[in-house]
């Protein structure tokens, strides 16, 4: 079977590109920039969406928080027993947690107090306590920290222990007993796991007080009903279901996505301006080249094939390099500047790495938004010039 690919035409196309190398290098650079920008936007969006969805799956079914003067307030440990008596509730877990401001780096750590012998409200805590042997944490006065916390403490010379400042101004020295990593960086990066007794001491809370209560419901379909019953028993409390949290997270993500959508539209608009400018006409030098080729006996289809090879080489090269640049920018350098649009730039957060998520539909979408359109913008004006009589083109 005879090959339909004409190697001589490909060689001629490459030489034609090299004859106008400065112009074609500029076009290639623009294509690489636009492709890498588009791909980076999609890669960051996909990775953060995956991270958020993974985090949402670990959230409690129902969370009860006491409010006083519109602010989160401590609950009584005895409130747990009332909730356990509600039909449909399979478990109610009292939580002690909060934020600790680390002034040296201007960042907040999330502190979670856990009791080894009580049920944990998510698998991440179960795994962390088993992996790091949490049984002696209280006796050894130690804690388990996320990777981001470990890095932040080491940068401030806290390699073996950390001195917490309690509300009364005294210090509480706690040893670093281990490092854990959850399935998502958002969940674990800034987290410190402490024995509940030590966490209460650091927060200055009484032993019979808790931060909130996490409720597990045997039948997920009954979550709204159970939440309504809890609200009746505790009218001054805020009852939050996992559906409420999902909507809240999604609203934040949609807001951030709007900013990325604006960047996407600007990129596409710029690309189409370039394409429109190219499709609107050819330079006199390019027209003269087509006229010379026709004078030498080239057919119209030969001219169009050669132009196809030219445009395909430059656009496909721009696409490949653009995708590789975006992959390096997002997943090796963690997308500086662009990443901050989604996660927000603040000293009050610890960094996290974007999970490597490749969506092949995204790659196909970017390909069809760049390569075929650029080829069409080259073929159409070439066809117009090739169909004109040779002597008119040369004049």
Both 388 and 254 in a single domain? yes
Task: Taking each helix axis as running N to C, give the angle between helix 300-331 and helix 360-386, from 0 to 180 degrees, rounded to the nearest 10.
Answer: 150
The predicted structure's pLDDT at residue 188: 66
Alpha-carbon span 172 to 187, nearest angstrom: 25
The predicted structure's pLDDT at residue 278: 66
Alpha-carbon span 39 to 35, nearest angstrom: 6
Both 37 and 99 in a single domain? no
**pLDDT tens digit sequence for 12-61:** 888 888 888 888 888 888 889 888 888 888 888 888 778 777 777 777 88
Yes or no: say if 248 and 262 are a contact pair by the CB < 8 Å rule: no
Both 90 and 169 in a single domain? yes
Residue that the structure tokens 């936007």 belong to: 41
Q: Which residues of the chain have pLDDT under 50?
A: 1-2, 347-348
Task: Taking each helix axis as running N to C, give the angle between helix 242-279 and helix 21-56, from 0 to 180 degrees, rounded to the nearest 10.
Answer: 170
Both 107 and 179 in a single domain? yes
Domains held by the chain: number: 2
Both 271 and 339 in a single domain? yes
Whether residue 176 lies inside any domain: the answer is yes
The predicted structure's pLDDT at residue 162: 92
Mean pLDDT (the chain) is 81
Q: Which of 383, 380, 389 is nearest to 294 (CA)?
A: 389
Strand-pairing partners, residue 64, are 213, 239
Both 192 and 283 in a single domain? no
Whether residue 106 lies inside any domain: the answer is yes
Both 256 and 388 in a single domain? yes
Neighbours of 172 (CB within 10 A): 14
Domain span holding position 159: 75-210
Domain end marker among 180, 210, 240: 210
Domain end marker among 181, 210, 239: 210
Neighbours of 201 (CB within 10 A): 19
Q: What does DSSP assign to residue 100? A: E
Domain end marker among 149, 184, 210: 210
Yes or no: say if 354 and 335 are a contact pair by the CB < 8 Å rule: yes
Yes or no: say if 89 and 83 are a contact pair by the CB < 8 Å rule: yes
The predicted structure's pLDDT at residue 15: 86
Both 198 and 271 in a single domain? no
Both 204 and 97 in a single domain? yes
The predicted structure's pLDDT at residue 388: 73
Both 46 and 86 in a single domain? no
Both 44 and 143 in a single domain? no
The predicted structure's pLDDT at residue 1: 44
Read off the pTM. 0.66
Both 45 and 89 in a single domain? no
């Amino acid at each position: 079977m005879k090959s339909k690919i004409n190697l001589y035409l490909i060689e001629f196309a490459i030489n034609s590109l090299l004859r106008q190398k400065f112009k074609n290098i500029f076009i290639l650079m623009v294509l690489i920039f636009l492709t890498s920008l588009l791909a980076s936007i999609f890669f960051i969006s996909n990775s953060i969406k995956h991270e958020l969805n993974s985090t949402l799956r670990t959230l409690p079914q129902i969370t009860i928080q006491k409010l006083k003067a519109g602010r989160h307030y401590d609950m009584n440990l005895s409130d747990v027993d009332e909730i356990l008596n509600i039909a449909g509730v399979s478990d109610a877990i009292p939580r002690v947690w909060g934020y600790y401001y680390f002034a040296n780096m201007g960042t907040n750590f999330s502190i979670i107090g856990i009791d080894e012998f009580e049920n944990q409200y998510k698998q991440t805590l179960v795994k962390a306590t088993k992996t790091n042997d949490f049984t002696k944490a209280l006796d050894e006065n130690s804690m388990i920290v996320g990777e981001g916390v470990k890095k932040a403490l080491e940068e401030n010379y806290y390699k073996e222990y950390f001195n917490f400042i309690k509300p009364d101004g005294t210090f509480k020295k706690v040893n670093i007993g281990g490092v854990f990593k959850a399935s998502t960086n958002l969940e674990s990066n800034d987290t410190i796991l402490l024995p509940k007794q030590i966490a209460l001491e650091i927060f200055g809370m009484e032993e019979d007080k808790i931060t909130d209560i996490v409720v597990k419901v045997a039948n997920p379909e009954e979550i709204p009903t159970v939440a309504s019953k809890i609200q009746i028993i505790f009218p001054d409390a805020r009852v939050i279901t996992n559906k409420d949290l999902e909507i809240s997270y999604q609203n934040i993500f949609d807001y951030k996505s709007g900013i990325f959508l604006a960047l996407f539209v600007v990129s596409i608009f710029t690309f189409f301006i370039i394409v429109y400018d190219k499709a609107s006409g050819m330079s006199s030098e390019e027209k003269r080249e087509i006229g010379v080729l026709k004078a030498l006996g080239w057919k119209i289809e030969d001219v169009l094939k050669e132009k196809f090879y030219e445009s395909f080489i430059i656009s496909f090269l721009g696409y490949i390099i653009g995708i590789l640049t975006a992959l390096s920018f997002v997943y090796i350098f963690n997308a500086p500047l662009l990443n901050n649009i989604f996660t927000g730039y603040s000293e009050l957060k610890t960094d996290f790495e974007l999970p490597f998520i490749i969506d092949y539909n995204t790659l196909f979408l970017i390909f069809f938004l760049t390569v075929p359109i650029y080829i069409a913008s080259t073929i159409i004006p070439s066809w117009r010039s090739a169909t004109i009589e040779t002597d008119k083109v040369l004049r």
